[in-house]
Amino acid sequence: MTAVLPCFWVYKAVGDYILQNQIVQNNPYQTWIDTYGGHEFAQSVQQAIRICDRVAEAEPSRIKVIMLEAFVTASRLEYDFWDGAYKLRQW
């Protein structure tokens, strides 16, 4: 659960940024923007955050540490994904 949460969270942040700064007319990415930018997806992300928080609160400390490590690792991978796209990294 905590390993996929950064994906939701980052897509929301990127979607909102693009939504606020988009070229509206004939935008080939409009479907993506409509999916990840705006209120509806925000509600899903907030629900996912609340669920993770609620589950974490009920877990012992050792599991919380594992959950946090998964979240941090996934966040770093999300950063690397977006950074690679921004820099046009070739594989």
| Residues 45, 48, 52: CA angle, nearest 5 degrees | 140
Residues 6+ apart with CB under 8 A from 46: none
Q: Which residues are catalytic?
A: 7, 78
* CA–CA distance, 3 with 70 (Å, rounded to integer): 5
Q: What is the DSSP letter of 25?
A: T
**Residue keyed to tokens 């909102």:** 16
